[in-house]
Chains A and B, each alone.
Chain A
Amino acid sequence: MSIADAAGAYRAAEEAAGERVARHWPEGHGLRGWITTVDHKRIGRRYMVTAAVFFTLAGIEALVMRTQLALPEGKVVSPGVYDQLFSLHGTAMIFFFATPMLFGFGNFLLPLMLGTRDMAFPRFNAFGYWVFAAAGLFMFSSLLFGVAPNAGWFAYVPLSGARYTPDLNLDVYSLGLLFLGISTTGSGINFIATALKLRAPGMTLSRVPVFVWALVVTSFMVVFALPPLNLANAMLFLDRRFGTKFFVPTGGGDALLWQHLFWLFGHPDVYIIVLPALGIVSAIVPTFSRRPIAAYPVIVLATVATGIISFGVWVHHMFAVGLPQLAMTFFSAASIVITIPAGIQIFSWLGTMLLGRVVLAVPMLWALGFILVFVLGGVTGVMFAIVPFDQQSTDSYFVVAHFHYVLFGGAVFPIIGGVFYWWPKFTGRTTSVRAGLWSFWLVFAGFNLTFFPMHIAGLLGMPRRVYTFAPGLGWDAWNLLSTAGAYLLALGLLVTLSTLLYSLRRGAPAPPDPWGGETLEWATASPPPTHDFAVIPTVYSLHPLWDQRTLDSFHEESRSPLHVQADGHDVLRTTELDAEPQLGVEMPEDTPVPFVAAFGLLIAFTSLLLGGYLAAIAGAAVFGFSLMWWLWPRDRPGSSGGGERRGEGEGGGSAGGEREETSA
């Protein structure tokens, strides 16, 4: 039997093994199912929706800010409110929108692209989501009480110390970010373990899709970059609450230590945000160019190199604090070097398109728009890497323009493009092409109208984070343009949102593979069933669904117990490098424990914030005991004996193929 395309592969696998497998992968319903689910697809969608809500909130904050700045001497909000707005806008966009949104993509897509059935630690995944949601609640509710963070998203000491900000604002900041860090670190570790251990047989590391590479590199960066931030926030909290002197110059502490620690996190963080987004582009471009990505080893190397170099450039955010010139030359060089991996990726996509046959579908438009806008943002980044120019333009609106070009252009464009690209997979519906075009062009125009004038305002000497400005300095027109653009942009995003919502209600049902994609997720139903794949395929190349051998394996392997794993709630474990199949692993069932644990943490952090240390200990105890409940070794049915899980090839061996216990 020869299989023609991905849809055929999906159908063949479902016929052969669908029922046998689906029995073990029930779907929870109702409120209980909603709270206890550990399904990576539900959690991934949930991440994305929550992050989109935070995006809307932070975007509305930005609109209020732009309204205040539309005219000189604006009186829309008071300076105290403005400070909270821009701080929460930056914090929320960076921490509560960009990273979780992309981690939502990762959660949904990683197991599908790898050809497995769930993340390595499904319960930990659910826990990560609940912690993220709780931390977002923690952070955003502070705005209602007027104690939102108000020292900018990087909260420089001493301004963020207890002496100059005595209220709770920065306790909310430090505790909120520590709280969120638990979720981000956990997700990163989960992605790493999944990508290393649960790939489909044959998917060696050099056949892994670029998006997965990007996500894995991002996860490693999270593991290495978040600790400095967590440490800095813990020290800040101790300084503010318990009178330690880490950052207090009069006590021997150092105000610059905060900046070093923050940016040692902060710069890798901007690539933590942008790398998965670039990965999305690397998934969209080959599909619509009808050919594999150009220079795959080089683009993977570029991704890895970006991750590594990004740890050596943090001082470019501190060029004006008076460091030794020699140090600045080094960081300037490193910041320049990091453009080369970016250039590699840009020209890899361009090369793919130049060699390919381009289909200008809506996701592809977003990718093309992204390339242009990201290059514009990137070249201003290169300008900053030159120390004298940075010293002139740092902390001016030129910087604001740069980072919105790379953040909105470099992360939000791919995110929206990715939403349009995988929307059939997420929801099982197709979107309207005409509405998609409207949405793209409105956002593209609004975006450039909002942020391009900021370059000029910055060059004309306008500092950032000013709640108002005097008339007659030559900044009025540019700010008015920016504000008009912001409203146009909001309109475009509103159109985008309504397009998607309309599709959710009225869209046509989507086939498994609407675009003719190359990676494994298109060989599942739209949306995929709880078990994702009825038969785990064997991968022979970078583009499994354009490869007859893999397509055929959907049918052929349906006779192999190893590839079907129909004896329980099981996934297949493979080796780290070469994806040799090892054995089946039993996955945990739905459970409310992650929710309870996250709730305990919410209690603990809220009590810490309000100074109720006993209640904080109680919350931590709830967390601790639910963890113990979670990790208690249980005897699962069938694991005591007779759990042979090997292929038909071998009989009894001494190293028995027992099922494994999972720890998370």
Chain B
Amino acid sequence: AGGEPPPEVPDGSPAKGRLLLSRYGCTSCHTVPGVEGDALVGPPLTSFGRRGYIAGELPNSGPNLQRWIRNPPAIEPGTAMPNLGVTEQDARDIAAYLFTLD
């Protein structure tokens, strides 16, 4: 995955986001292209940059994605995705990486 941030998240670092995906354990539920793991608990995050909605709830934009990553139950109370305590900067980097997937 590339070095420069995608337009949706101009100040995030995709390279760092890729590492963070495995550090927070996202890959234990999601299959993420470019990161090890093939779990299917949550939806696969393939081609995420071209998705319309996040979790069927929010329009897929940079800020929305960061909100979702930082606290999913706040957006969709019944979701199985837990609040993983992702910091603001980390959420930005993760979102940046996810938007490079298309």
Contact = CB atoms under 8 A, between A and B. Distances in A.
Interface in A62-81: 73, 75
Contacts of B38: 75
A73 B38 CA distance: 11
Interface in B10-50: 36, 38
Contacts of A73: 36
Nearest to A71: B36
Interface in A24-79: 73, 75
A75 B36 CA distance: 8
A78 to B, nearest CB: 10
A571 B67 CA distance: 91
Interface string A399-416: 000000000000000000
Main secondary structure of the interface of B (DSSP, over half): loop
Interface string A241-261: 000000000000000000000
A74 to B, nearest CB: 9
Nearest to B37: A73
Interface in A367-392: none
A75 B38 CA distance: 9
Interface residues of B, number: 2
Nearest to A73: B36
Main secondary structure of the interface of A (DSSP, over half): loop
A73 B28 CA distance: 14
Nearest to B38: A75
B77 to A, nearest CB: 35
Interface string A601-631: 0000000000000000000000000000000
A75 B37 CA distance: 9
Nearest to A468: B36
A73 B22 CA distance: 12
Interface in B38-67: 38
A608 B102 CA distance: 55
Contacts of B36: 73, 75
A73 B27 CA distance: 13
B22 to A, nearest CB: 9
A370 B7 CA distance: 60
A283 B93 CA distance: 67
A73 B35 CA distance: 10
B61 to A, nearest CB: 32
A73 B36 CA distance: 7
A248 B49 CA distance: 57
A503 to B, nearest CB: 47
Contacts of A75: 36, 38
B95 to A, nearest CB: 24
A48 to B, nearest CB: 43
Nearest to B35: A73
B42 to A, nearest CB: 19
A75 B33 CA distance: 13
Nearest to A471: B36
B21 to A, nearest CB: 13
Interface string A64-105: 000000000101000000000000000000000000000000
A338 to B, nearest CB: 45
B15 to A, nearest CB: 16
Nearest to B36: A73
Nearest to A72: B36
B57 to A, nearest CB: 32
A471 to B, nearest CB: 9
Nearest to A74: B36
Interface in B71-100: none
B17 to A, nearest CB: 18
B44 to A, nearest CB: 15
A25 B36 CA distance: 66
Interface in A486-541: none
B75 to A, nearest CB: 32
A75 B39 CA distance: 13
B35 to A, nearest CB: 10
Interface in A423-454: none
A415 to B, nearest CB: 40
A73 B34 CA distance: 12
A614 to B, nearest CB: 46
A622 to B, nearest CB: 49
Interface of A: 73, 75
Interface of B: 36, 38
Closest 3 pairs (CB-CB, A-B): A73-B36, A75-B38, A75-B36
3 contacts: A73-B36, A75-B36, A75-B38
